[in-house]
């Protein structure tokens, strides 16, 4: 299989739409890399450049050590499943899957083509549907045929642009498993695009978070989730509580941050000087909840950092976890999750007063420069809307 190298890849549409802005990325042989990011950030453009459907404005693309920047798509040894509908509607399944072989430089005999189509349909576990038209297949079956078509020429790299987006939740899960199995079995180097974070987290070796044509962060699912380098990434991957504030001091990787919720202690990778505007990011599972019935000062008299009180406004069972929305006395809304199995003598319910706390190790202070305004979790307007104040 193949290694894909992007070196300073840039794509400008017209004179001023910079869709992809000077990105460098090496996708290792057999690796599964996922591109995520808001709509219009350049995911599809990146894939189309790799596949050869766009001429690049600047930079180079190589597969293994062969530069392919100027090669036409059929000489690139890549298979692609497109974002918007994937199959040729006027061709049978067989004609769709065989399409790449029919137009390839190399001549394949009819027997070779037939055998390969049979083999591909077996791989996607839909044997015997050669003569059907795409309209006679379910959405999930069409997606699988599109995958078979992309893989028919046994490409060194597979590019998948939101291939599972049109599927319902259950089918999507099945197809995720199926796709992972096929990708691992073939060991094919894969670049995948999805809007579904859970999909990105479970399927990828590495995740690339794109924002406006540029990389925000590249790392393992674990790293981008637990060690986001910007508030944008923290907010984009998974759920995040963000407390805005200003650094007042600190030492050895832990800073004090003055926020509406009081002074919070949070870890900081970079040196953050006093006065720096930051967002303190805490994942929902990093926060603990306890019932707090008395009107006493919270915690040990209110001197401990990262403790606050509030009221539970919503309790939702989400499969294996329970999610709580807590409106704090400071007027912010927090998302808190606990394991569903974590039984309590009396379950916490909507309307209960609670004490909310988190360790400094579960909180990360990130410079606010990285905030893209409209993506930051700032729920106060919502609260105001609900309470009518």
Q: Which residues bind ligand ATP (CB under 6 A)?
A: 13-14, 17, 19, 37, 39-45, 83
* Nearer CB in complex with ligand ATP: 200/305: 200
Could you give the string, one character per residue 83-122, with x where binding to Mg ion holds by CB under 5 A and - elsewhere? Answer: x---------------------------------------
Which residues are CB-neighbours of 4 under 8 A, at least 6 positions away? 25, 26, 27, 50, 61, 62, 63, 157, 189, 191
Q: Residue 387, exposed/middle/buried by CB under 10 A (0-12, 13-18, 19+)? A: exposed
Residue 194 or 308 having the CB closest to ligand ATP: 194
Question: Hey, which residues between 21 and 60 contact Mg ion (CB under 5 A)?
Answer: 43-44
Instruction: Choose among ligand ATP, Mg ion, none what residue 88 binds, the Cβ cut-off being 5 to 8 Å by kind.
Output: none
Smaller CB distance to ligand ATP: residue 204 or 276? 204
Residue 163 or 284: the one with the smaller Cβ distance to ligand ATP is: 163
> Residue 276 binds which entry of Mg ion, ligand ATP, none, with Cβ cut-offs from 5 to 8 Å by kind?
none
Q: Which does 42 bind (CB under 5 to 8 A by kind): Mg ion, ligand ATP, none?
A: ligand ATP
Residue 229 CB, nearest distance to ligand ATP (Å)? Answer: 20
Distance CA 316, CA 314 (A): 7
Transcribe 176-244 into DSSP letters.
HHHHHHHHHHHT-EEEEE-S-HHHHHHH-SEEEEEETTEEEEEE-HHHHHHS-SSHHHHHHSS--EEEE
Which residues, other chains included, contact 10 with Cβ-Cβ below 8 Å and sequence gap of 6+?
18, 20, 21, 22, 23, 56, 57, 58, 59
Q: Which is nearer to ligand ATP, 13 or 74 (CB)?
A: 13
Q: Which of ligand ATP, Mg ion, none lies near 13, with the C-beta cut-off 5 to 8 A by kind?
A: ligand ATP
- Choose the one of ligand ATP, Mg ion, none that binds residue 19, judging by a C-beta under 5 to 8 angstroms depending on kind: ligand ATP
Report the residue number, 161 or 333, with the smaller CB distance to ligand ATP.
161
41 binds, among ligand ATP, Mg ion, none (CB under 5 to 8 A by kind): ligand ATP
Distance CA 87, CA 227 (A): 39
Q: What percent of the residues of the chain are helix, what percent strand, and what percent coil, each to the nearest 5?
A: 30, 35, 40
Residue nearest to Mg ion (CB): 44
Q: In whole angstroms, give the CA distance from residue 195 to residue 37.
A: 7
Positions in the binding site for Mg ion (CB under 5 A): 43-44, 83
């Amino acid at each position: 299989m193949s290694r894909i190298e992007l070196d300073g890849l840039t794509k400008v549409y017209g004179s001023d739409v910079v869709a992809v802005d000077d990105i460098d990325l090496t996708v290792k042989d057999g690796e599964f890399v996922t591109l995520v990011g808001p709509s219009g950030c350049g995911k599809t453009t990146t894939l189309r450049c790799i596949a050869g459907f766009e001429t690049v404005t600047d930079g180079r693309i190589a597969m293994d050590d062969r530069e392919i920047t100027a090669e036409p798509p059929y000489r690139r040894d890549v298979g692609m499943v497109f974002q918007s509908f994937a199959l040729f509607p006027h061709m049978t399944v067989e004609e769709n899957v065989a399409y790449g072989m029919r137009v390839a430089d190399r001549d394949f005999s009819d027997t070779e083509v037939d055998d390969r189509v049979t083999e591909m349909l077996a791989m996607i576990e839909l044997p015997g549907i050669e003569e059907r038209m795409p309209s006679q297949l379910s959405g999930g079956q069409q997606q699988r045929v599109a995958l078979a078509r992309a893989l028919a020429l046994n490409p060194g790299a597979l590019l998948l642009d939101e291939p599972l987006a049109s599927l319902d939740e259950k089918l999507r899960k099945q197809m995720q498993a199926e796709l992972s199995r096929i990708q691992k079995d073939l060991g094919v180097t894969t670049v995948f695009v999805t809007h579904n974070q859970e999909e990105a987290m479970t399927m990828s070796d590495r995740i690339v978070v794109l924002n406006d044509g540029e990389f925000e962060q590249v790392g393992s699912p674990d790293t981008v989730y637990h060690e986001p380098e910007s508030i944008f990434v923290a907010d984009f991957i998974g759920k995040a509580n963000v407390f805005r504030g200003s650094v007042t001091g600190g030492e050895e990787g832990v800073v004090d941050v003055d926020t509406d919720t009081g002074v919070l202690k949070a870890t900081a990778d970079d040196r953050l000087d006093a006065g720096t505007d930051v967002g303190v990011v805490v994942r929902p599972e990093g926060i603990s909840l306890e019932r707090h019935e008395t009107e006493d000062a919270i915690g040990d008299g209110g001197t401990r950092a990262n403790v606050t009180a509030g009221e539970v406004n919503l309790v939702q069972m989400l499969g294996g976890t329970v999610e709580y929305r807590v409106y704090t006395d400071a007027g912010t809304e927090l998302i808190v999750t606990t394991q569903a199995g974590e039984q309590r003598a009396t379950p916490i319910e909507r309307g209960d007063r609670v004490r909310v706390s988190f360790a400094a190790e579960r909180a990360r202070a990130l410079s606010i420069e990285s905030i893209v305004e409209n993506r930051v979790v700032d729920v106060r307007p919502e609260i105001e809307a609900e309470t009518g104040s």
